[in-house]
Amino acid sequence: MEQPANILQTAVGGTAVSFNIWRTLRLSSFQIGSATADILTASVWNRVMIAELGMPATWVGLLLALQYLLMPISFWAGHRSDTRPLAGRRRVSYIWLGRGLVVLSFPLLGMSIALFEDGDMTQGWLVALVCFLLFGAGKLFSGSVYLALVRESAPPTKQGIAIGIAETVLIAFFPIMAIAYGRWMEHYDPQTFATMIGFTAVYCAFWWFFATIKSERPLATPAIASRSGGWSETTGKFKSVWADGRVRRFFAFLFVATFAAWMQDNVLEPFGANVFGMPTGQTTRFTGYWGGATLLVLIASFIIWRKRQPETLSGLAKVGLSIMAVGMMLLAATSFSELRHLLEISLLVFGGGFGLYTFSGVSLMAAMSPTRDAGAYLGLWTVCILVSKGLGTFAGGLLRDIFHLELDWSFALSYGLIFAIAAAGLVLAALLLNGRQVISFVHEHQ
């Protein structure tokens, strides 16, 4: 960083805040647990359900997306943590409560697989539904509050960098955990999967606790603590935030970009299995390919553009989205032509673009979150990202079933069309991003 940690300071709510890389890295270790939880559910469980147990991708994708019906929780929890402490803490208690729900959902994941294997479909789907509602509620309740905690750990000029480091750790551990789990279970085995679930619960709980313990700062002012944070006040806050056209435009950009980027999530591993006959251990590493490229580009982006004001990075975000679109089109060509050797290249291109987009996107997101109501705004962006990711995941599975099962098209054509549609969505997102509006919003709210 360009200035020593003990020099770069600012007054936030009356409390001097310096940028400390070690504090930021400890907070970012929270994302190790987050990445592990997502790999277990969206990658391993998803692959077992579709490719091993033969479940319809539509229903699996719907389960992964249904958790986001609880999306108001994120804005409410973020705004409430801005205005009303829980158990004497402003942020951390909300985070622990939410992540506790996530940990409780893991055993239900294994129970659902066991019921499906026993042929009890009704009970299996019911347990899976409860599992993902718990999982989603916990993520939504704690996600925006965690980002607000990270944001407050740095001065205004470094808040985008702090959130970016946290997102970098998240993306870095997607491929790490994907490769680790892929090697752990090369071919599906019920006992191995059960052990994996138990390990994940303990492993995630450790990182979520370690990252946030003793990280809480005192309340900035008594006035903040006195605001009620009730549901009616939260509704009023949402209306005032949403009334700004610049917020709605940024929301639309973020929604379309995330939706398109994650359309591949539910079908990428089944694509490898259905089109190329690849085993579980190999397809689980797909996330490692694009995630590894994302990480390398993210690190390079921090080095090159770390001194840029976050609100000025719209152009870089558009470049990243365009490269992602090229990667998706290459993946579509890979599927159409059934040329196995193009697969890794396609994923690396997509991942490189994702790295540029992530660096610039999280910086823009931090810039679009005014200090006084950071939890509320970050709650809105968290809702946007999680809901669009869930719907994108569901849409990928739905299109796969429509193209292949209903229209009886080949796997190669079906998956190729999904990737092509995702590419078009990424281009649309780049067109929706208005850099001048972001700069105007930041100048007005500083």
pLDDT at 19 over 80: no
Identify the band that residue 153 occupies on the pLDDT scale cut at 50, 70 and 90. confident
Which among 140-154, 301-315, 349-363 has the top mean pLDDT?
349-363
Q: Which residue, among 402, 275, 254, has the nearest Cα to 331 in the 3D structure?
A: 275
Identify the band that residue 225 occupies on the pLDDT scale cut at 50, 70 and 90. very low
β-strand partners of 329 = none
Identify the band that residue 8 occupies on the pLDDT scale cut at 50, 70 and 90. very low
- Mean pLDDT confidence for 61-74: 75
d(CA 123, CA 42): 21
- Residue 239 neighbours by CB under 8 Å, 6+ apart: none
Domains of the chain, by residue range, sit at: 17-445
pLDDT-above-90 percentage for the chain: 42
pLDDT at 127 over 90: yes
Cα dist from 156 to 334, 347, 375, whole Å? 44, 35, 15
pLDDT at 129: 92
pLDDT digits (tens, 9 = 90+) for 364-403: 998 898 877 777 788 788 788 878 887 898 899 889 989 9
Q: Rg of the Cα trace of the chain?
A: 21
Identify the band that residue 230 occupies on the pLDDT scale cut at 50, 70 and 90. low
- Residue 277 neighbours by CB under 8 Å, 6+ apart: none
pLDDT at 167 over 50: yes
Phi-psi region of 154 (alpha: psi -120 to 50; beta: other; left: phi over 0): beta
pLDDT at 14: 40
- Mean pLDDT confidence for 323-351: 94
Lowest mean pLDDT among 107-121, 151-165, 319-333, 345-359: 151-165
pLDDT at 60: 84
d(CA 397, CA 57): 5
* Model pTM score: 0.74
Task: Confirm if 21 and 5 have CB atoms less than 8 A apart.
Answer: yes
pLDDT at 224 over 50: no
Tokens of 368: 């679009």
Q: Kindly report the CATH class assigned to 17-445.
A: mainly alpha
The sign of the dihedral angle between the CA atoms of 198, 204, 210, 212 is negative
- Mean pLDDT confidence for 414-435: 96
Tokens of 270: 């089944």
Task: Confirm if 255 and 386 have CB atoms less than 8 A apart.
Answer: no
pLDDT digits (tens, 9 = 90+) for 44-66: 888 888 878 888 877 887 887 77
